[in-house]
Amino acid sequence: MRKLFLNKPLVLAVAFWSLILGIAPSNSFAMPTDSAAYFSPQTSRQMTIDKIMTVFSRPEARAHLMLMGLNQEELRQKLSGLDDRQLTEVAGQADAARAGGDGLGVVIAILVIALLVILIVKLADKTVVVKD
């Protein structure tokens, strides 16, 4: 048991993993997101429009807008013409589109799991043999 805890590659791997986890920034803030409107000069409506525009500023969304014959300024004008209920619906759909992401997180998670399995197999001095 003592030999396991004094294993230099294992200690280095755990230290490296702790370093990686410690570097990642935290997205938590002290104030709720709804209270940001009280501290910001922007109105809630303008914040909603800005949130929608960030989704439509991605390259694939911009290409789709160009196919429809719209640019960023025309989209902002059309969003300003919507009432609050319609604007909230569009913001919800924009959040749903952004939540889908591009799958990069899934690929990274699979790679990390594969690397951990390889590390565990190497540390255990086991070999994997595939027989036909």
Q: Return the pLDDT at 24.
A: 66
Q: Return the pLDDT at 101.
A: 57
Q: Return the pLDDT at 2.
A: 66
pLDDT tens digits, one per residue of 16-29: 888 887 776 666 55
Q: Return the pLDDT at 38.
A: 54
Cα separations in angstroms, 65 against 18, 94, 96, 99: 43, 14, 18, 19
Q: What are the average pLDDT values for consecutive 10-residue runs of the chain, which has 132 residues?
A: 73 86 65 54 76 82 81 85 86 72 74 88 79 78
Question: What's the whole-model pTM score?
Answer: 0.43
Q: In terms of Cα–Cα distance, which of 91, 100, 2, 80 is closest to 51?
A: 91
Q: Return the pLDDT at 53.
A: 86
